[in-house]
Amino acid sequence: MEAPAVRDVAPGIVVVNEEDQICATWILHQGRSCFVVEMPPKAVDGYTIPAELVLRCIEERGLTPVGLVFSHAHWDHIDGVATYWDALTDFPEMKLICHESAIEIAPKLKTFFDTVFSDDAYETNIEGEPLYLIHAPKHSASDLMIVFRGTMLTGDWWLGWGDPNPGKVPPATSIKSVDRILGFLRNHRYVVTRLFSVHANDFRYDVNAEAILLETRRYHEMKLAQEKG
């Protein structure tokens, strides 16, 4: 029986998140294959190891991991990398994928990740279902938007108005990232209707993602204008 920490939140998307876990882990699945998203460290109780919960969920559902990715290279999303590596070593076909910007921020990841891309986007699939990773710095220089089955996992992005911008990412960079996402989705004629924060504290269903991204862009345009005086 699965733990209460495991929830199906959208078609093909499972979130694994204990109450005191610093960041959720996500399982994106199609057929019998899946990708794992995020590698949080031990929960604050010091005993809960998220990787073990994820492995248990994968085994109970009869899934085979074929990929591991993360939204950005901040400690709460990657510091469990060794535990995920250990837990998933029985799946040798699994690709570990990240953007080169993450390696620049956290060089230790190079030890684990065998597929490092430098392009604006990385396209793959899970048993034929498209999975897109779009490099879009806004919260951090290594941000990836993860798009699957009409859902976009938005990392730690602040969507809409009022971004506190703790990483001090320049507004011009944020605007460019919004444009990159919108351009990619339009070019692929892909519609996103769900936006989920990877911390599992913001689930937006049946949304107009393009409108939300455009509002986000307008805010950073305003901040850019303020900078220019």
pLDDT averaged over 10-residue windows placed end to end, the chain, 229 residues: 78 90 94 97 74 94 97 96 92 94 96 96 98 98 98 97 93 98 98 97 97 98 92
pLDDT at 44: 58
Measured between alpha carbons, how far is residue 145 from residues 53, 71, 87, 173 in Å? 24, 7, 25, 15
Smallest CA-to-CA distance from 132 within 116, 115, 120, 114 is with: 120
pLDDT at 20: 74
* Whole-number Å distance between alpha carbons of 73 and 120: 17
| Strand (E) or helix (H) holding 173 | helix 171-187
CATH number of 6-228: 3.60.15.10
pTM: 0.95
pLDDT at 1: 45
* Whole-number Å distance between alpha carbons of 80 and 42: 7
How is the chain split into domains, by residue range?
6-228
Residues 14-66: pLDDT tens digits? 999 877 788 999 999 999 999 999 999 876 566 678 999 999 999 999 999 99
Dihedral sign, Cα of residue 162, residue 167, residue 172, residue 174: negative
pLDDT at 59: 95
